[in-house]
Structure 1
């Protein structure tokens, strides 16, 4: 039986809707799917408001990586409109000082005309070690970065740096919540996922073996199964 609420999918930093393409055939069988444009604004509040302005009155919400940060902001702005939440390879806590410094360094390189090198250098950290030499994954990663562009990348990083700590929000959530993460996620990390799952009442954690941060492209079948389990719960 199809799920009654449409599903909004929010991509991550330097990602486009392409990150979700392998999941769509399975998801379309269960519900109406909207691929969200998260490339407008340079604060989480503005990005979330732009999404809400075009969203249906009530919806299920999935945020991938940065998309999870946006999802938390949507829940702050319009909690009654979200019927369920899926946190895919994301975290609720702010950056560490080291992470924030690295973001600023990447922003400076992108602003200085070295955006392709930024995307290329980041790829090994976004996938499972077994997938570092996967040509198709590397190509998809670079294509999404180029489709995003340096200016939008910098704006997204600015929004991430200024985001609100979402940990106080987690215990207040009273909607079906799934947390999905790759076992070798080096970006937001399995620990970040566990923190969300432990704080949200009734949340279910799914650890996907053989995947890093780019889990929807690395392990699409396993990721789709976990999402469908959440939609059917």
Structure 2
């Protein structure tokens, strides 16, 4: 545990509410204050990052999962001096491919014609390790988070994700202690993205978690907590 408080800002992913981090909170809170960023109200990564910075203390550790990682990388572009440690979880530094953009536009159109609930159900099997698809607790958890966010905020988030830049050229400039954590069974964002990020950031610690897909925070919460605690320890040394 830190001898002086460390504030941590946790950034949820696409269509993920504050519930995403409920199992991580006790470990992080033992080091100091915790803020969960609000990324439901903006349609660009820059605006999401600016909202986060406006609400955060002067210095903080930053952790983001999936889209939360995209926001975190935008924060590092805007105010790197304020971030004392970084955890990039189940995420990528790449911009969307044309195929991903087309898929997200189809999702937005589905929402526009009232198929939000259908989309939430259809996405779930891609979010977990193949061995965990039958776990009704994970499916129910995903459904609750999606309903917390709702269709309007989801479309705004899709717009932000589609418009994000390629962050790979910026990775080498990151100087704070960094943890890169990814499930080996992630079929939404391949683990190769984590390897790419960790190689580009000097001193980054890569943790590949078996038996976990994109919902690693629920599939393997202990492994994620261990990686984040190790980061917090590095920040406070």
Aligned to 1:63: 64
Tell me how many residue pairs correspond in the alignment.
233
Tell me the residue number matched to 1:212: 213
List structure 1 runs of 4+ shifted beyond 3 angstroms: none
- Cα-Cα RMSD: 1.0
Aligned to 1:86: 87
**Which residues in structure 2 correspond to 1:21-36 (within 5 Å)?**
21-36=22-37
Partner of 1:199: 200
| Residue of structure 1 in register with 2:171 after alignment | 170
The offset of 1:30, in angstroms, is: 2.6
Deviations 1:45-79 (CA, angstroms, capped at 9, x unpaired): 11111111111011000011000000011111111
1:4 to partner: Cα distance: 3.6
Query: Are positions 1:157 and 2:171 aligned together?
Result: no
Give the aligned partner of residue 179 of structure 1.
Answer: 180
Verify the 8 A CA contact 1:5 1:83 in the aligned structure 2.
no
Aligned positions of 1:100-115 closer than 5 A: 100-115=101-116
Q: Deviations over 1:64-110 (max 9, x none)?
A: 10000000111111111111110000000111221111111111101
* Corresponding position of 1:73: 74
* Matching residue of 2:42: 41
Residues 40, 50 of structure 1: 8 Å contact kept = no
Partner of 1:146: 147
Say which SS state the counterpart of residue 83 (structure 1) adopts. Answer: strand
State the Cα deviation string for residues 95-138 of structure 1 (Å, max 9, x = none).
12211111111111011100011111000000001111111110
Contact 2:10 2:64 in 1 (8 A): yes
- Calculate the TM-score normalised by the size of structure 2: 0.96
Q: Matched residue of 2:165: which SS?
A: coil
Aligned-pair CA distance for 1:226:
0.9
Determine if contact 1:100/1:161 at 8 Å carries over to the other structure.
yes
Q: Could you say what secondary structure the match of 1:14 adopts? A: coil
Question: 3-state SS of the aligned residue for 2:191?
Answer: helix
